[in-house]
Amino acid sequence: MTGFNDTTSNWPIFSFIGIPGLEAAQIWISIPFCLLYLLALVGNVVLLVLVKEEQNLHEPQFYFLAMLAFTDLGLSLSTMPSVLAIFWFDIRHIGLDACLTQMFFIHTLSSVESGVLVAMAFDRLVAICAPLNYTRILTHYTVACLSGAALIRGATLMAPLPFFLRIFPFCGANILSHSYCYYPDMLNLACGDVTFSSVYGLVFVLCTFAVDVVFILASYMKILGTVMTLGSQDRNWKSLHTCACHLCTVLVFYMPLISLAVLHRYSRDTSPILYTTMSNAYLLMTPLLNPLVYSLKSRQIQAALRKRFWVQRVIAGE
């Protein structure tokens, strides 16, 4: 299907794409997508339940993990309707307001997740570089302030972007290159001078993801410098091991983000199948892999899972 638009109307319609060349097989392709979304939802809900119910997880690093899981749930629920609607029902059209709403939540939650990763880096920085002051610095109030700041920053910086797009006419076919509404993608379809909106989008990226990456790198440089001054090699390893989950989560989040940015830059030379697959993986793999990383790497999460599983077995046996 192709998109359509009445140039005299204030309500343009946009069209999503599936996976080019594989339209006949999209019902089969929907099966793994559906399973991956289900695993992502279940995994993040389990993390939220564990942090809420297990007393030994009532620590700052796990409160941040709960915030991360909550954000991942939001990202999954933001993209799942349009992605599965394409594969299951071949529904490819979306109105402007619905598209702007989806775009707002996707970009805001991505910014919030980046901010939470910064807060988690700060948590590890204090835990390793100032362990005696950890409980004094990382209080419940501090955790709430850092989480709230990430949310407010993302929503505040993102809020003007939908209004910028509403003032532009859309006078082409309006075919989106993703299975969801993405700001650079929509901006490319707008008619008129989009210079200011494009610059603001760049400012948004610099004030969120770029600043966050710099802070995370600086934090780990400080952590590495502190660990190297410790006397025991075994102690060095134990200190770095506490950062393993966070480092994996950072890579899981930023690698697809960078890959998608590169694909946007060189999309003309990229295979359509690779392009659409990467664009879907960008917002699906992070919510899917984060619970898996913490389940495999965090001993406290593993202990909580074993405890819950054992209790359930006892109850079932009774």
Alpha-carbon span 288 to 254, nearest angstrom: 14
Indicate whether 3 pLDDT > 50.
no
Would you give the distance in Å from CA 172 to the centre of its chain? 30
**What is the structure's pLDDT at 4?**
38
User: What's the rounded mean pLDDT across residues 91-119?
Assistant: 91
Give Cβ neighbours of residue 213 (< 8 Å, ≥ 6 apart).
254
C-alpha distances (whole Å) from 316 to each of 302, 305, 307, 309 are 21, 16, 14, 10
Q: How far apart are CA 305 and CA 125, in angstroms?
A: 27
Please tell me the predicted confidence (pLDDT) of residue 7: 41
For the ranges 116-125, 161-170, 245-254, 256-265, the one whose mean pLDDT is highest = 116-125
**Distance set, CA 94 to CA 76, 103, 105, 160, 166 (Å):** 18, 12, 16, 21, 15
CA distances, 291 to each of 44, 57, 88, 264, 296 (Å): 6, 15, 27, 28, 9
* Under 8 Å between Cβ of 1 and 93: yes
Whole-number Cα distances in Å, 11 to 4, 86, 170, 236: 11, 21, 9, 60
Tell which residue, 45, 116, 47, 118, has the closest CA to residue 76: 45
Q: Percent of the chain having pLDDT more than 90?
A: 29
Q: How far apart are CA 37 and CA 191, in angstroms?
A: 35
Q: Among residues 297, 304, 303, which one has the least CA distance to residue 246?
A: 297
Dist. CA 190–CA 198, nearest whole Å:
11
How does the average pLDDT of the chain come out, rounded?
82
Band the pLDDT of 149: cuts 50, 70, 90.
Answer: very high
Domain ranges of the chain: 13-317
Q: Is the pLDDT of residue 1 over 50?
A: no
Q: 68: pLDDT confidence band, cut at 50, 70 and 90?
A: very high
Q: What is the DSSP letter of 23?
A: G
Q: What is the pLDDT of residue 310?
A: 64
Which pLDDT does position 117 carry in this prediction? Answer: 94
Six-digit token pair at 35? 């399973």
Residue 8's pLDDT band (cuts 50, 70, 90): very low
CATH of domain 13-317: 1.20.1070.10
**What is the pLDDT at residue 317?**
56
What CA–CA distance (Å, rounded) separates 98 from 232? 57
Q: Which of 292, 314, 303, 242 is nearest to 56 (CA)?
A: 303
Give residue for tokens 């290159």: 177
